[in-house]
Structures are given as C-alpha cells and as structure tokens.
Amino acid sequence: MINLGLLVLRLGLGVMFLAHGVQKLFGGGMIGFSEMLKSLGFVPALFWANVAGYTELIGAILLILGVLPRFSAGILLIVISVAMFKVHLAKGFFLSSGGFEYTFVIACACLAIILSGAGKISLLNKF
C-alpha cells in the first residue's frame, strides 16, 4: 500500500504543477506572472517567469512518470518555497487571507517524495 500511496502523491502533485506550468507557458499567464515577478524584484522578470514555468512543466512530467523523483521534487520544492517566502509568508498562515497554508502543504508533499523516492510503481521500475 505504501507504493500505491506514493503513486497517488506523485500523480496529485505532478498534475497540479503540470497545470500551473502549462497555464504560465501556454495559457496566456506569462505576462501577468512576469509582471508579478518584476514587482517582487526578479530581474529580468520574463527570464525568471520562463524558468519557473519550465521548471514546473518538466518537474511535473518527471514526477508523474517517476523518473528522477527526488530531483524533480527538489526543483519543485525550490519553486514553491520561493512563492511561499516571497508572496505568501507575510500574509499569515491561512489561505483565506492569501497566506502560506497551500504552499506549505505542497512543500511538505515535495519533501515527502524527496525523502521516500518514487516507490515501486514508476517508469524506472517498469511497474
């Protein structure tokens, strides 16, 4: 059951990051995201927006497939930690006030995969 649990965790986290990466890169969200990054001091903003978007996209695909799970969870942990500390931390804990509650849960899920790996149900283990 542990391997099934890790699969569910990887798939859930991967699909969430995949949706965010696709939205940023191909869904028209890059301009707004880049402007938000610029307001946070990330220069050049468009470069960092692309780094975040492609990190989410590639990291998510690797995570879903179970390929390099610790690496992919690690790079996704970096992305979500930047969001947590630069955007949400100052607003308190609860999501209802824009706080870091959601990013904290995502960071914990990334850390769980870093510590446990993909489990036996992954592309590298060929099921």
Read off the pTM.
0.94
pLDDT for residue 126: 58
Q: What tens digit of pLDDT does each residue of 6-61 get?
A: 999 999 999 999 999 999 999 998 999 999 999 999 999 999 999 999 999 999 99
Six token digits for residue 115: 């510590």
Q: Which phi-psi region, left, alpha or beta, contains residue 42 (left: φ > 0; alpha: ψ -120 to 50)? A: beta
pLDDT for residue 124: 78
Please give the residue that has the higher pLDDT: either 53 or 125.
53
Share of residues in the chain with pLDDT > 90 (%): 94
Beta carbons of 63 and 10 less than 8 angstroms apart: yes
